[in-house]
Structure 1
Amino acid sequence: MNQEITLAATLPSTPRGARAARALVVAQLAEQKVPFEDAAQVVAELAANAVTHGRVRGRDFRLVLRLTPGSTLRIEVSDTRREFGPLPACGLPDAEAESGRGLALVSALAVRWGTDHGPVPLKTVWAEIDVASPISPDRGFHDPVDQYSVKHGT
């Protein structure tokens, strides 16, 4: 990984656009022989959130991917629904809930993640992944599903 990889794409705020974002990232990273599994999952979650919760009729979302020679992959997904404010905590929902686990997954796969606002009405959710050191038990990661099971005695 001696070169910087950059990808920027504007995609429709539809489920098809979210799937295209994931496919673009997989193709770009696979071409450069960079591990892409974690990045693909993070992009899928952030893009799905953008088209589900950040969608504004007639406005697209933007995907930016940057891989620096230092092996940090930064993923940014921007939408134009800023008025929803900060993201919720990434804790797990009730066991019966059908959704709400995406940000917990992003948190588990990323070294760090967050949001940026601006210029109005832009909201960007970003995540950074260390592609040289994929998730492993040695990094101190604990499966949030296992934590939930232990906490609630299931």
Structure 2
Amino acid sequence: MISLRRSRLLQLAVPAHPSYAAGVRRTVAAHLTRWELAGILDDAVLATDELFANAVRHASAGPADTVAVVLEYSERELRVTLADPSPTPPRPRTVDSGAESGRGLAIVAALADDWGTDPPEPGDAGKRVWFSLAVRGPV
């Protein structure tokens, strides 16, 4: 069977610096709006922001590092993948209620239908961290 609905794809390479987080959030929100995915926009933007912050904080080694951000919407699922230069896999942490950080992966897990890690693309170093969100209702 041939699908009449084509996959929608966005690929970005963003400098691994906190000052780019707002631009990543705006870009993700703009594309999800264009793709008419308002029902999952807030969750997708927040989960992407958490993964971007983790990549910048824990996986960036230098000023030339970038984080690849890939959004792919196909049929009834949005998959967001962030690739960074560190091979160290992310580790969910248990933090006390007064901690100012350390909840990023717990937030992603709470928002997403699924999440995980993959090895880098062939020829690249590092890892890919992804999450998926089901698109419910008419598309």
- Check if 1:98 corresponds to 2:103: no
Which residue in the other structure is 2:49 paired with?
A: 44
How many corresponding residue pairs? 128
Give the 3-state SS of the residue equivalent to 2:25 in structure 1.
helix
How large is the RMSD of aligned CA atoms in angstroms?
1.6
Partners of 1:68 and 1:92 in 2: CA distance: 34
* Aligned amino acid, residue 41 of structure 1: L
Whether contact under 8 Å (1:11, 1:61) holds in the other structure is: yes
Q: Look up the match of 1:56.
A: 61
In the alignment, structure 1 segments of 5+ residues that lack a partner are 134-154
Question: 2:13 touches 2:66 (CA, 8 Å); kept in 1?
Answer: yes
Q: Aligned partners of 1:43, 1:66: CA distance in 2, in Å?
A: 13
What is the CA-CA distance between 1:92 and the residue it aligns to?
Answer: 4.0
Secondary structure of 2:83's partner? strand
| Mapped contact 2:11–2:71 kept (Cα < 8 A) | yes
TM-score normalized by the length of structure 1: 0.77
- TM-aligned CA deviation for residue 16 of structure 1: 2.2
**Equivalent in 59, 67, 82 of residue 73 of structure 2:** 67
Tell me the percent identity: 35
Corresponding residue for residue 14 of structure 2: 11
Provide the rounded CA distance (Å) in 1 between the counterparts of 2:29 and 2:71. 11
Q: Tell which structure's C-alpha radius of gyration is larger.
A: 1
Where does the alignment leave 5 or more consecutive residues of structure 2 unmatched? none
Asked if the contact 1:13/1:61 (under 8 Å) is kept, the reply is yes
Q: Is the 8 A contact 1:18 1:51 kept in 2?
A: no
CA shift digits 1:53-105 (9 cap, x unpaired): 11121111100000102x210000011011xx22213x541111111111111
Counterpart for residue 146 of structure 1: none
CA distance in 1, matches of 2:125, 2:7: 29
Higher relative contact order (CA 8 A, sep 6+): 2
